Amino acid sequence: MSSLRLRQTGFTLLELLIALVIIGLLVGVVGPNLFKNLGKSEITTAQQQIDALSKALEQYRLDTGHFPRTEQGLVALAQQPADEPRWRGPYLKKAVPPDPWGQPYLYRSPGSGGRDFDLSSNGPTGKPGGSGENAAITN
């Protein structure tokens, strides 16, 4: 009777180690770039939201003749202020969104430097100031 030798299939320990090293290198190279781009997407989202809120504020001004006062805030875009008879809103489809980091946008009218209004987010840190990717995002 001839015996057939069964061949076992699978990976050797060396092959598994090489595969793990390759995966580790890929994670080390791709991971930081992925997280860096994630931060950039939040900044882009904040800029787009500020642009959309600025357009809503401009529509409010066209209807009422002025921008909401600082005390009225951005809520005036979604709910009619009691002392504003020419309000024709709401100027937003939903409530005023928080910034991508969960903080409220900061609004002041009149704005600094002769601007009609200041609209900003304190960025990822949630604190005024900062620089680079931690800088405040403004209109």
How much of the chain, in percent, has pLDDT values that exceed 70? Answer: 89
Across 110-127, average pLDDT: 88
Q: Rounded to two decimals, what is the model's pTM?
A: 0.69
Across 78-83, average pLDDT: 91
Task: Write the DSSP string, the chain.
Answer: -PPPPPPP-S--HHHHHHHHHHHHHHHHHHHHHHHHHHHHHHHHHHHHHHHHHHHHHHHHHHHHSSPPPTTTGGGGGTS--TT-TT-----SSSSPPPPTTSPPPEEESS-GGG-S-EEEE-TTTTSS---GGGS-EE-
**What residue ranges do the domains of the chain occupy?**
40-138
pLDDT tens sequence across 39-65: 678 888 999 999 999 999 999 999 999
Q: Which CATH number among 3.30.700.10, 1.10.3720.10, 3.30.470.10, 3.40.309.10 corresponds to the domain 40-138?
A: 3.30.700.10
